[in-house]
Structure 1
Amino acid sequence: MHDALSLLQQRHSAPSRQLGEPAPDAATLRALLEASIRVPDHGKLVPFRLIELRGDAKLRFGAQLAERAIRRDPNLADSKREKERNRYTYAPLVIVVIARLHDDAGIPEIEQKLCAGNVAYNLLLGTYALGFGAQWLTGWAAYDPEVAALLGLAKNECVIGFVHIGTPQTEIPDRDRPAVDDLLSQWQG
């Protein structure tokens, strides 16, 4: 039984700045995306969509985000400006996971966002299973209305995360994990 859980027991995020080429090729990415969208979906709403950022388009997106970060905070420290300028230069592929919310479906918004979040998590699991690395990032850009406009989001859409995907360029140590005994309780009624 433990062998069946080994992927979950070993999965960890790879910091985006430590990801480089190669990213999954087109066929592998297609298979990864097809697997990643197999998520619990109350009401079969498909409350998500994906945006691929790659190559020059990814770099242009990153440059526009850096410009937006500086407009948001003209006093941004030089080190943070540099971080913003370089954020999209490392991982060769970024998949933006978008929640597409349906107000009239009778399904709570949180359930729809969790469905989209499951897509992002499946991307993390799938990339790890394929031998790649990934990191799910949000940060200010996920909640900024100008970034939403830049991505062409509709009023009923929001960013769930930017999943940076590539090949780890160095060994990624695992972090300390919480103990199940510290998290699990039994309800006795």
Structure 2
Amino acid sequence: MNDTLVLLRTRRSVAPAQLTGPGPTPEEVETLLTIAARVPDHGKLAPWRFIVIEGEGAARIGAVIAAAYAADHPEADEARLALERNRLAQAPLVVAVVSRAGPHVKIPEWEQVLSAGAAAMTLCVAANAMGFRTAWLTEWMAYDRRILDALGLTPGERLAGFVHVGRAAQTPPDRPRPELSAVVTRF
């Protein structure tokens, strides 16, 4: 089996709390985003974009996340608010993948949304190939307009998820996956 197939077969998500530094260098981030942008894209619409969240940026958006959570959950204690404040600050790098699918005469919206998902997955695979570990999560913040506004998303844009990138002491053990016979139909 070649290296690419081994990577695809063994890639596993790592919880953001288990991701540490050092994160990717600026050059590595540029390479990761360039690779993520090379996904299938019917019509060359680039129906996605990336928001790089790291360092002070993670603290700024963390304050918005904690405030939104506190407004919706007045009973939340400081420990829970700290968890929300640090949700995007655990990994050294977080990339928000934004789907900007829209009406098009030839390309259906669902194809554009799938392209954004492919960009997120390609980002995960590329980061793993560079020796990093990843977690692709949406979490409740991906649907909260206050947070989307703070990230600069327009009303037509949706968050395909946050890709957390960092180092991990080890790859988590393999989990059972569905039997292929349960998810494959042959004609």
For normalisation by structure 2, the TM-score amounts to 0.91
Question: Gaps (5+ residues) in structure 1?
Answer: none
Amino acid paired to 1:148:
L
Query: Counterpart of 1:123 in 2: which secondary structure?
Result: helix
Amino acid paired to 1:118:
A
Counterpart for residue 89 of structure 2: 89
Residue 86 of structure 1, CA deviation: 2.6
1:138 counterpart = 2:125:
no
Amino acid paired to 2:180:
V
Paired-residue identity, %: 40
Stretch deviating more after TM superposition (51-60 or 100-109) = 100-109
Amino acid paired to 2:46:
V
1:7 counterpart = 2:7:
yes
Amino acid paired to 1:54:
E
Counterpart for residue 44 of structure 2: 44
Counterpart for residue 32 of structure 2: 32
Counterpart for residue 67 of structure 2: 67
Stretch deviating more after TM superposition (49-58 or 170-179) = 170-179
Question: Gaps (5+ residues) in structure 2?
Answer: none
Distance 1:134 1:155, change over 3 A: same
Amino acid paired to 2:136:
W
Distance 1:169 1:67, change over 3 A: farther
1:157 counterpart = 2:164:
no
How many residues align? The count is: 187
Counterpart for residue 58 of structure 1: 58
Stretch deviating more after TM superposition (172-181 or 150-159) = 172-181
Stretch deviating more after TM superposition (11-20 or 57-66) = 57-66
Amino acid paired to 1:55:
G
For normalisation by structure 1, the TM-score amounts to 0.90
Q: In the alignment, is the contact (CA less than 8 A) between 2:100 and 2:156 conserved in 1?
A: yes
Amino acid paired to 2:172:
I
Q: In the alignment, is the contact (CA less than 8 A) between 2:14 and 2:171 conserved in 1?
A: no
Distance 1:30 1:60, change over 3 A: same
Query: Counterpart of 1:103 in 2: which secondary structure?
Result: coil
| CA distance, structure 2, for counterparts of residue 116 and residue 34 of structure 1 | 14
Distance 1:105 1:151, change over 3 A: farther
Once the two structures are superposed, residues 83-132 of structure 1 have per-residue CA deviations (whole angstroms, 9 ceiling, x without a partner) of: 31331231011101001123234322211111001000001101111110
Amino acid paired to 2:166:
G
Residue 81 of structure 1, CA deviation: 3.2
| CA distance, structure 2, for counterparts of residue 16 and residue 3 of structure 1 | 25
Distance 1:78 1:57, change over 3 A: closer
| CA distance, structure 2, for counterparts of residue 35 and residue 182 of structure 1 | 32
Q: In the alignment, is the contact (CA less than 8 A) between 1:102 and 1:156 conserved in 2?
A: yes
Once the two structures are superposed, residues 35-65 of structure 1 have per-residue CA deviations (whole angstroms, 9 ceiling, x without a partner) of: 1111111121110010111111112211221
